[in-house]
Amino acid sequence: MARLFRDPRRDSASSSSNGFAPPAAASPAASALPSPFPDLGVQLSAAELRETAYEVLVAASRTTGGKPLTYIPQAGPASPASASSASSANSSSSSLQRSLTSAAASKMKKALGLKSSASSKGGSPGSGGAGAKAAPRRPATVGELMRSQMRVSEPADARIRRGLLRIAAGQLGRRAEAMVLPLEFLQQFKVSDFPDPQEHEAWQGRNLKLIEAGLLVHPFVPLNKSDSSAQRLRQIIRGAYDRPLETGKNSESMQVLRTAVMSLAGRSHDGTSDGCHWADGFPLNIHLYQMLVETCFDSDDSTVVDEIDEVMELLKKTWVILGINQMLHNLCFAWALFNHFVMSGQVDIELLSAAENQLVEVAKDAKTTKDPNYCKVLSSTLSSIMGWTEKRLLAYHETFNTSNIESMQGIVSIGVTAAKVLVEDISHEYRRRRKDETNVARSRIETYVRSSLRTAFAQRMEEADSKRSSRNPTPVMSILAKDIGDLAIKEKNLYSPILKTWHPLASGVAVATLHSCYGSELKQFIAGLTELTPETVQVLKSADKLEKDLVNIAVEDSVDSDDGGKSLIREMPPYEAENAIANLVKVWIKERVDRLKGWVDRSLKQETWSPGANRDNFAPSSVEMLRIIGETLDAFFQLPIPMHQALLPDLTAGLDRSLQLYASKAKSGCGARGSFMPELPPLTRCEVGSKLLFKKKDKPQNPQHRGPQNGATNGTDPLGLPQLCVRLNTLQYIRSELENLEKKIKTCLRNVESAQADITNGLEFKFELCQAACQEGIQHLCETTAYKVTFFDLGHILWDTLYIGDIASSRVDLLLRELDPILETISGTVHIKVRNRAITALMKATFDGFLLVILAGGPLRAFTRQDSQIIEDDFRSLRDLFLADGDGLPEELVDKASSQVKNVLPLLRTDSEGLIERFKRLIADSDQTRTASRGKLPMPMTTGHWSPNDANTVLRVLCYRHEEAATRFLKKTYGLPKKL
């Protein structure tokens, strides 16, 4: 038994003795790819896996009931008698014995884009003209075909069938998936059933290793460390190192083994199972199934067998045992097709096309499942395929030429499909980003093009250097320019037509890459120039001709693109020595932009945001900043350079960032909406009795009001209402001046002497960063101003006055009086284009404050149902303030802003019993009831989204209800106190 766990590599004699012939030796030029499937961790050889896979196939294909499981030998030539016998067996034996049909009309081959090979093999089996050489006899049944494909000898096949017949006789009607086949075989055969003890030892070792792999190493359901059956099984298998197990039906050791095995095999995820899980654990099932998939390929020439439809039908019968589904099958079959294409020496284009078609199905499957085992094997398989394709595509100039260019299309397609699945369906990073930001196919093609062209360029450089000699004084850069021009033509005519399928600008990317490579060398050449020589002139002329050729190809390639090729042209900066001037101009731009940013920082630290600084009430610093920007633009267009248009985007982008910085700083330090919102007090219940008249010492503390974020200041408050209005005006002023800046740029560009009259057509000089910053800043300041005024400046009215004590004497009038001058300040200070936005924000904040007083005003407030009319009248007065008899905000805008308050107010006039019933119903309808214990109602969360359909809102109305029923409910249900 010492050889039970020996090295899985066996000699041919050992393999043959088991009835499984070793695989045919593959030529070095057609070696298979390494398996992408996870390592089993158990020393099971390919021959052992193939033998087990064949046993699973035969077991899965056997008939149920009382029909015998027979096998018809096909050792001799087919005869009418044997054909008749086969026909008879076909009706009563397993599906393995079904006679083969004509493969000429194979549906699966048609779907994969494969042609039938029957015509190339001399017609149907047994045919042939007089004098013709006899073709090798084809198997007559599917069973014989599968046995032949899996290199199973007839004695081995007979032993397997004999064992299955014994199993079936003892377990009549039991399905194959409900049995642990290695265990059943061990119980059916003894040493005496084998002519050679060593053969029995190897056979027993294989079955025990399968049990170990399927139940201990890769179980269908993860094992607990303390599982006694698993520990016992490990001991049995370890014991087999020293002493072979005694097998057979009446063996005591087999009964012990059966007990341990069946305990583990019968486990399932849901606790119930009518099957045995011994071969469906990942990745053991994948390894076994891949052995079966290999039967789809002719063992002689790796082509897909004509009987693929029948073979596939048989393979599906094993799915229930191996835990295989359509998706795993598609992936395994796609890998096999691709691997056999590689093994064919990359010459069988039909296999490549079939792999391409099958991979399309895999891509569809990948989008419909997130099964971790499937994703794991999918990732490793596609990574292996992609690794092989990219090794060739990253240097496709070396891989493909006119003799094999036909295969390039399929290899690119497979590589791109694999990359898309890996990135789009497996990558977590891709899911976190917007999908429209990444075009995987286009990105991969661009990578292939750039990598291959750079490699080809490096080779051309070496060749150009070798061509230079004393007899050929042509400068190396001139020789290189001609070679690169020839390379670009070859790329355009041979490779780009294929690559355009995935990247419409493949030629453009290629020539842009060549342009960049040559440009780098030319830049070094120009940097070393000290004088203009004939050689220098020759190089520059060659470079100029090459550049024109490359640009023409790029323009032709991108004529139908969205931007007309501008993106590619921008990728191809001119070769002229003027590039050095352009770099100096860029330094000039950077210095001006950095200087402007420093000025912005200094000026805003000194800005007081005083409304009296000018007539239009905006900050003087903004006027000065725009003046500096205008002077910078004038200075730029006065520079004696011929490339203003090319460098202008650098300048406008820098100015845009400076303006954005100003806009961001103008709103910074003002706080935010949430910084002025008070914290909600704990819920309490009203003290029912005499009307609430609290003594000063008994008054609960109200929430502390938050002040400005930068604390108190001396002199003018930079966060006062007038100052906030000036900040708003400043951002509006900058936003309105951006259009003037854009017009100025276009006018200056037209006036440049070297510019054409239509140079600005189609060009956009938008200050998008500043525009967005101003828009966001105005919105932020409107909200901040509104909530500061409401909850900070007027907080003493909301929290300390409104509806405190006697409601009739603490109504909203004081709040209205305080709001009136605030509205006048805003109307008189804020620019007309943002005035309504500021007042609308104030209105929304006021409504929010009004609602907070009613729902979260603290224990000093208590309302009766009769108070609801007063509160509704007060709210109408508040609305009328912003309507201003038709001179204020539009009525539909006020209605929209007040809808939340209007929806909540009816709760105030609802009787307490109705409120309690509504509250209970809302709690019952929510998921919060699941957290309740001992029949108590859970406390609803405070969402801040007040609504009559929000349990927390209804609860708060009850908390402030001055009525015995409400306070009794609150005390009984939640034990709320009367005071804080």
Predicted pLDDT at 824: 92
Q: Identify the sign of the CA torsion 417, 419, 424, 427.
A: positive
Q: How far apart are CA 421 and CA 382, in angstroms?
A: 8
Query: How many CA atoms, within 13 angstroms, populate the side-chain half-sphere of residue 297?
Result: 26
Summarize pLDDT for 862-917 with one digit per residue, the tens.
Answer: 999 999 999 999 999 999 999 988 888 999 999 999 999 999 999 999 999 999 99
Evaluate if residue 10 carries a pLDDT over 50. no
pLDDT higher than 50, residue 1: no
**Tens digit of each residue's pLDDT (9 = 90 or more) over 232-251:** 889 888 887 778 888 777 77
pLDDT above 90 (res 4): no
Nearest to 565 by CA among 576, 551, 575: 551
C-alpha span between 874 and 895 (Å, rounded): 16
Q: How far apart are CA 545 and CA 541, in angstroms?
A: 6
Tokens of 865: 């149902």
Torsion, Cα 340 343 346 348, to 10 degrees, reads -50
Find the largest Cα–Cα distance for the chain.
125
Provide long-range contacts, Cβ within 8 A and 24+ apart, for 461-465. 461/521
* Per-residue pLDDT at 369: 86
Task: Tell me the pLDDT tens digit for each residue of 434-452.
Answer: 555 678 899 999 999 999 9
Segment 69-85 shows an average pLDDT of 38
Of 293, 288, 294, the C-alpha closest to 323 is: 288
Counts of helices then strands in the chain (DSSP H, E) = 38, 0
pLDDT at 671: 84
Query: How confident is the model over 649-664, as a mean pLDDT?
Result: 93
pLDDT score recorded for residue 128: 39
pLDDT of residue 714: 36
Rounded CA-CA distance 775/517 in Å is 43
Task: Kindly report which listed range (262-276, 583-597, 948-962) carries the lowest average pLDDT score.
Answer: 262-276
Q: Output the pLDDT for position 760.
A: 56
CA atoms within 13 A on the CB side of 776: 14
pLDDT at 930: 55
Secondary structure of residue 304 in the 3-state scheme = strand
Is residue 332 exposed (0-12), middle (13-18) or buried (19+ Cβ within 10 Å)?
A: buried
The band of 944, judged by pLDDT with boundaries at 50, 70 and 90, is confident
Claim: this prediction has a pTM higher than 0.85: no
338-395 pLDDT, tens digit each = 999 999 888 889 999 999 999 999 999 998 888 888 999 999 999 999 999 999 999 9
CA-to-CA distance for 211 and 391, rounded, in angstroms? 39
> Quick one: pLDDT band at residue 63, thresholds 50, 70, 90?
very low
Q: Can you tell me the mean pLDDT for 54-63?
A: 86
pLDDT of amino acid 241: 73
User: Is the separation of the CB atoms in 680 and 795 below 8 Å?
Assistant: no
On the question of pLDDT at 121 being above 50, the answer is no
CA 350 to each of CA 304, 309, 311, 339: distance values in angstroms, whole numbers, following the listed order: 9, 17, 19, 13
746 Cβ neighbours under 8 A, 6+ residues apart:
760, 763, 765
> Is residue 935 scored above 80 in pLDDT?
no
